[in-house]
Amino acid sequence: MPIFVPKRMFDRLSEVWGSLPTSVCKLAIVLFIGTTAITAAFCANLSTPERTPEPLTVKVAYFNFGKIRAGIPEVSNAEAIRINAEAQLRKDVETWNNRLIKMREEKKSAAEIEKTKQEGQTVVRAKQEALAQLVESANLSVRVRVAQAAEAEARSRNIDLVVDGQGLYAGGQKVFDHGVDITQAVLKRLLAESEDKQKVSR
């Protein structure tokens, strides 16, 4: 591709180059030509039309995370622990509130009441955070186990893509119509895994 330089720019470049050493001029010419060539090549690539997406055959499977989660014994145990912890937390809040009410009835000083209030809030907040961490840890553990079981089931059936049916917001009907439901198969794997763990712990 020919390179065109305006005459005024050419004259100015000639004046500047005339005052520079020969080696510097040669280097400048090489850099200028190289940069122009790269720019031309880049513009040529931009003019290339985008590739048309090719149809792809994919074997799809799906599962119901809610059903799987409800069928795992460890989830039921964790849920029972959460319910008991929340009940105990409500009792603690009620106990601290009753203590504050009694202090007001006994005409305790405002400073003493405020100190007790702050102490109660600190204790309750710590238990709330511990409960939240417990729930988050249990949920994460379940999701990791379900993902691993789903991946193992997919490999055994040569399935290319596995999705959670509860997490589809669009196009779900096509997945259900043409995909394979592996909910029970994944749950079966998880139950077998739980039984193996119980045997080892005995």
User: For residue 93, what is the DSSP state?
Assistant: H
Query: Contact, 131 vs 29, CB < 8 A?
Result: no
Together in a domain, 107 and 26 = no
Together in a domain, 69 and 38 = no
Together in a domain, 34 and 86 = no
Q: What is the CATH number of the domain that holds 90?
A: 3.30.910.20
Together in a domain, 31 and 88 = no
Together in a domain, 24 and 107 = no
From 100, 97, 96, 120, select the one nearest 108 (Cα to Cα).
Answer: 100
Q: Which two tokens stand for residue 76?
A: 């039921």
Q: Beginning with the edge strand found earlier in the chain, give each strand of the sheet holding 161-164 in spatial order.
A: 161-164, 60-63, 180-181
| pTM, entire model | 0.56
C-alpha 32/C-alpha 16 separation (Å) is 15
- In which domain, by residue range, is 11 found? 7-46
Domain annotation covers residue 83? yes
Together in a domain, 194 and 120 = yes
What is the structure's pLDDT at 186? 92
Residues of the chain with pLDDT under 70: 1-49, 53-56, 166-172, 174-176, 198-202
What is the structure's pLDDT at 91? 93
C-alpha 122/C-alpha 74 separation (Å) is 31
Together in a domain, 80 and 136 = yes
What is the structure's pLDDT at 48? 59
Stated as kind and residue range, the H or E segment containing 107 is none
What is the structure's pLDDT at 25? 47
Together in a domain, 75 and 160 = yes
Q: How many Å from the N-terminal Cα to the C-terminal Cα in the chain?
A: 80
Together in a domain, 194 and 163 = yes
Together in a domain, 147 and 100 = yes
Together in a domain, 99 and 144 = yes
Domain annotation covers residue 40? yes
- Structural domain count, the chain: 2
Together in a domain, 32 and 75 = no
Domain annotation covers residue 1? no
